[in-house]
Amino acid sequence: MKILIAISDSFCANFIKGQGRYLKEQGHEVVIVSGPGIEVDRLEETEKVRVIRVNFAREISPFKDLFALKEVVKIIRMEKPDVINAGNPKTGFLFSLAHVLFPKIPLIFTLRGVRSDTLFGIKKRIVKFTEYLSCNLADKVIAISPSLRDHAINIKIARKDKCVVLSKGSSNGIDLNHYSLNANIKESASTLLTKHELDESVFKLLFVGRLTKDKGIEELIDAFDKCIELGANMKLILVGPIEMQDPLQEDYYTKLNN
């Protein structure tokens, strides 16, 4: 079976890490469609999967989206996959539109969140409509948690009969062996603590993800500042890219730089 997995941004390669290798071990052919970047380059090298790079625009961009849609249609026509899994909002939308032309190829949309929840005004309505199309044009929607499934159904972007949760829900599962302490991890941790002048005994609050407004970074920094005011001995560590499509207020960038 040929399985096509689609993500719009290289950063999202972390969401599907290990899937290509596992599916290949089960005898399937795997093709990944992704925006270009370091993360997907690394995935291609370590998991020995074929990657087709397409320049997707993360935000709504009619001209760029139309061009990307033409590329998606071209890829589906050339690759002739047996099943497609679109794994984020932009690929979910574009592959759902393309699915109209290829109705016999099963399309799965993996729902990892509802972006319209964080937007306002006309942009919220437009994004919510694209989410509705993604969920309803796909043959099956996999929500990564029971609460997300319930929410998507309640706000009427997904149908109850189409939207499912695998087991108890997860974006990509957790490899517990990856997080087991060993000498190399301890050494790397010690190096990081020294590099960033962090006391090992200090309580550390860690965030990993995109540093954008919709991720609650401003609220997290405010809560941290409040804890410091109350005398807490702790450090806030933020790990991830700063994206200006959904910027923080300027004073928060000043705090980050300090």
The 10s digit of each residue's pLDDT in 16-58 is 999 999 999 999 999 999 999 999 999 999 999 999 999 999 8
In this model, does residue 196 exceed pLDDT 90?
no
The 10s digit of each residue's pLDDT in 210-244 is 898 888 999 999 999 999 999 999 999 999 888 87
- The reported pLDDT for the residue numbered 175 is 80
Q: What is the pTM of this model?
A: 0.81
Q: According to CATH, what is the number of the domain 2-165?
A: 3.40.50.2000
In this model, does residue 90 exceed pLDDT 90?
yes
In this model, does residue 197 exceed pLDDT 90?
no
What strand order describes the sheet that includes 140-143?
50-53, 29-34, 2-6, 83-86, 107-111, 140-143, 163-165
- The reported pLDDT for the residue numbered 183 is 86
The 10s digit of each residue's pLDDT in 118-172 is 888 999 999 999 999 999 999 999 999 999 999 999 999 999 999 999 998 888 8
- The reported pLDDT for the residue numbered 231 is 94
Q: Where do the domains of the chain lie?
A: 2-165, 182-257
Percent of the chain with pLDDT over 90: 72
CA–CA separation, 35 vs 56, rounded Å?
Answer: 6
- The reported pLDDT for the residue numbered 21 is 94
- The reported pLDDT for the residue numbered 143 is 97
CA–CA separation, 225 vs 122, rounded Å?
Answer: 34
Strands of the chain (E only): list them. Answer: 2-6, 29-34, 50-53, 83-86, 107-111, 140-143, 163-165, 203-208, 234-239
